[in-house]
Structure 1
Amino acid sequence: MGHLPVDVRASIRLFAFYLANGTIDVDLLDGIDYRPALFQFGSALEQIFAIYGNVLEVDESGSVLNDGEAQYRAAQWIRAYCDPSYQADPPFQTWETELHGP
């Protein structure tokens, strides 16, 4: 089995950078410093990366097709986590939030 395509690795790297910088989907998360809440325990951060990875689509050549959508869905989860009155639209489906692994 080979490595993830370069485009996928670049998307994940930039997503992690924006997330750690506090600049993921600035419009949706405007005024919300989510970093203290998310980085205190690993489970919230784990869920964010699961959503991003589950929503991310890649074509046959390994090019990422919907990085913005994957980031937006992760941002919606972050907003709901930090603001219980916020409702993601559309609501999350099970496949989007599923955690994969051993």
Structure 2
Amino acid sequence: MAENAMVVKHLLLSKFKDDVTPEAVENLIKGYANLISLVPSMKAFHWGTDVSVENLHQGFTHVFETTFESVDGIAEYLAHPAHVEFANIFLPALEKVLIVDYKPTSVN
């Protein structure tokens, strides 16, 4: 997908609860990634773990980035039954969560 002014990024920063096993975390991440095949408004999905040397992560360990073509696409995603079902499993496994939606801007 070409980056343009219409693209909207949905960032979710999280820390899983200490009692969530690594295997459960892996399964939850797979479930999150699978949403792209179920929710038409999701255009791209990436995730990773904190590797910052600045140590300013405030306890957040994982970053999930989803790309949509519009803010309306995020609204469709949030209301989609597959997302609602997944969120009911995913969110209780989190100790901390922060979500930011933004439109990327290039500086020329």
Query: Would you say same fold, with TM above 0.5?
Result: no
**Greater RCO, 1 or 2 (C-alpha within 8 Å, sep 6+):** 2
Higher strand share: 2
**Whose radius of gyration is greater, 1 or 2?**
2
Higher helix share: 1
TM-score scaled by structure 2? 0.33
